[in-house]
Homo-oligomer: A and B are copies of this chain.
Amino acid sequence: MKVREMMDKYFIYVYPKDSIDDVSIKMENSKRFTAPVLNKEMKLEGWITSFDITKGLRENKKLISEVMSPVEDIKYLHENDPSRLAVLETSKSRLISIPVLDENEAVTGVIRAFEIVNTLSSLYEVKVLKLYQAMHKQLKGVSWDELMDAAAIITTRATGVKTKAKDYEERIKNSTFGEAIWTTGGLESFFVGLISVGELVIARRVGKSKK
């Protein structure tokens, strides 16, 4: 996934000659705590945050150019950078948003913590059922019922609580990958559980074919 696919294309931007008053109203109305300061060619001239605005208002400054961070202090990304960079940069520098530039260095979007949370959390919302369906499709010669039986056996073993195939199926319809990894104690444990199920169902298939 590229930064381009994750960024907000409908970002607000301002000019150095805009008044601090006007920009503060624009930021309040659009609910943006930050904005790139651009020239007429959409190239970065600076960056403002609500902190620059509150300081400017307190100190009776008039123009954005008086309060903005200079262009050399701004972290930015390019459209074709991997989204992973945006995640790492946000996490590391605790930036609430990062401007995104195209190949001509014009600003075409802004990546914000929200976009990242949305993208990352969509993964967490994948239903565990989907993973079992993918597994079922892959394990040719294994029926869905056999797969659910194996999953129920592994769950019974792991939790000590007798679980039936039908109950297991009901449960994975409602539970998400995010819940599953939090419940099992992490990504590795979750995968080990799934591998155990695969192993059991294959062992049983092999056992049957020997009969």
Contacts and interface: CB of A to CB of B under 8 A. Distances in A.
Given A50-B53, A57-B58, A96-B96, A87 B117 contact: yes
Contacts of A96: 33, 96, 113
Interface string A163-194: 00000000000001111011000011101101
Nearest to A57: B57
B55 A28 contact: yes
A106 interface: no
Interface string A16-46: 0000010011011001010000000000000
A53 B88 CA distance: 30
A51 B34 CA distance: 11
Interface of A: 1, 21, 24-25, 27-28, 31, 33, 49-51, 53-55, 57-58, 82-84, 87-88, 90-91, 94, 96, 113-114, 116-118, 120-121, 123-124, 126, 130-131, 133-135, 137-139, 176-179, 181-182, 187-189, 191-192, 194-196, 198-199, 202-203, 206
